[in-house]
Structure 1
């Protein structure tokens, strides 16, 4: 029964969280295709800073939303009117708690992998590394 509960919890959580994380893909593409090459050609300017700021703000919002949505889902599915119906299923309370915990933990892991992967993709593009190295060299030469 734990397998079925986990499956339906994942489906229920995925309806919203997939959309939240898919929005990040065009933002990453914009940063990698337009902002990063512009940093190499023109240096750091206001438009580049705004693009990177948009990315970082959205990643913070997506991560916070993921955590809050999992917590609200856990509460509603166990302690509200929906929880009353959920607990009538032929499963033990431990199975209900484990399915919610495993589904929430898996989505938290997906969120971390997605955001850290996008950070690595942006950071390890050659133009960003060149810009960081030249700015570090410039900062260190003034010391």
Structure 2
């Protein structure tokens, strides 16, 4: 199933939105490769996930802490679960290469992450951050 980025998924932080859009672009490439019977794209996707997951999720975590996001602990648990999934997919790839089962599992894991986490939890985080900023609480100094 091809997934498409829409502005509804924007969380309002350009760096994080760009990362999310890149995830969609990579999923499109993976999907196209699967349809063409090419398993090589899964290796690039796993490498991207290893790098992306650590950097991107750390940026989200920093933002949640800075704005006092009330769902931070739950959000962090989801991040840890995804990182564990990425580590397991990496382990399987390193052990056996891009098997048909691994290709399917990578596509399923990333699709589930996009639909279950990004489209729900990250969008909620974005809404909270925008409301926080609207109230003038982001980047403001308290008078001395």
Q: TM-score range by the shorter chain?
A: 0.3 to 0.5
TM-score (structure 1 length as normaliser): 0.37
- The structure having more radius of gyration, on CA atoms, is 1
The structure richer in helix per residue is 1
TM-score (structure 2 length as normaliser): 0.37
Which structure carries more relative contact order (alpha carbon 8 Å, separation 6+)?
Answer: 1
